[in-house]
Structure formats: structure tokens, C-alpha cells
Amino acid sequence: MSDPAAPLPTTPPDAPPPHRPPLSEVFLAFVQVSVSGLGGALPWARRMIVERKRWMTAEEFNEAFALSQFLPGPNTVNFSVVFGQRFGGAPGAFVAMAGLMGPPLIIVTILAVLYAQYGDLETLGRILKGIAAAAAGLLIAVVAKMAAPLFTVRWNSGPVIAILAFIGVAIMQWPLPYVFLVLSPISVALAWFKR
């Protein structure tokens, strides 16, 4: 029914990415993302990969990032593996992950040594106490921003599940694996039957 000569509306889905970036470029890009990202590397990863390098469209980036969030483990690290795998298989995944983790590992190891040496200093303790209080507040704000869409949609099971997970881990102090293994199947089942 379709005319074989008709022009394709978009690029075919199986088309390879326009160009495969060399591994060294991928490594350096992730090094740059890791050193600029403070309090979450996501915005920097998007800027680098979608806007500057144009290795992915915004949509591809969102999909890859959704996958990275859904998988267990640190989101940004997962993203580096997902991205690297698509662009260069196992070596690509390794290089992207190493670029992302390398500089922070070096920096944090130096900080760990310094803390072991000077952690008992009263001055340092006071500074860290202030930073810890601010960091806790920052995380509460992140949670509030994440929760907003969940609580504004018409009635759904989301808030109930979120509150149960919170009570189990924060108030009852049950081990995370137990809470997770009980609540996740219920939550997924509710999502399955919704509609």
C-alpha cells in the first residue's frame, strides 16, 4: 500500500549514530562531567552529551537516563555505562565509567586521608557540622521537588508506597533489602493494574 519510492519521514531507526566518537574523547568528556558536577552530575552530563557534543538527542538522553535511574546503583555511574555501551561496547562502557569515577576517587581519597588525620580538630569539626546541616537540608529540598508531581496527580498509590518506605527505613529502621523486597512487588503490581 505504500509507495516504495516515498521519502522516509525520518532517519531509519536502525541507523548508526552519525559518528562514533573516539574512546579518548568519551573519556575526557566524562572526566569533565565528573569534575564540574557538584550535587549531582546529571545537568552537566546533559549539557555535555546533548548540547556540546551532540552525541545524543534530548530524547535519547532522557531514555538512557530513565534506564539508569530504574536500574539499581548510582544513577550517573549507570548512565556512563549505558552511554558507553551504546557508543563503543565494553571498552566504551569501561572508558566512560573510568572517566566519571577517576577524578572524584582521587579527590575523595585525599579528603579521606586528611579527615583521618585532622577529623578530631575542633575547628574542622565545626565547619563540617555546618556543612552537614546544610547538606541535609539540600536533600530534603530534593525530596520535596521529587514528591511534588506524585502528590498532585489525582489519587494514586504512589504517596502511600513512598510513605510506607519512609516509615520502614527511617522510623522503624528495618534493613533496606526487607523493605524493598516487600514494597516493590506491591507497588509494581499496583502500577500494572492501574488504568
Asked whether position 73 contacts other proteins by CB under 8 A, the answer is yes
Q: Which of 46, 65, 78, 88 binds other proteins (CB under 8 A)?
A: 78
Instruction: State CA 24 to chain mean position distance.
Output: 23
Ranges of H-type helices in 119-157: 122-152
> 54 vs 127, which CB is nearer to other proteins?
127
Alpha-carbon distance 29 to 167, whole Å? 40
List the interface residues with other proteins, window 154-193 (CB under 8 A): 157-166, 168-170, 173, 175-177, 179-180, 183-184, 187-192
Q: Which of 41, 48, 49, 56 binds other proteins (CB under 8 A)?
A: 41
Alpha-carbon distance 80 to 61, whole Å? 11
Residue 85 and residue 93 in contact, taking contact as beta carbons nearer than 8 Å = yes
List the interface residues with other proteins, window 7-26 (CB under 8 A): none
Q: How far is the CB of 61 from other proteins (least distance, A)?
A: 14
Asked whether position 58 contacts other proteins by CB under 8 A, the answer is no
Torsion, Cα of 143, 179, 70, 92 (10° steps): 110
Asked whether position 140 contacts other proteins by CB under 8 A, the answer is yes
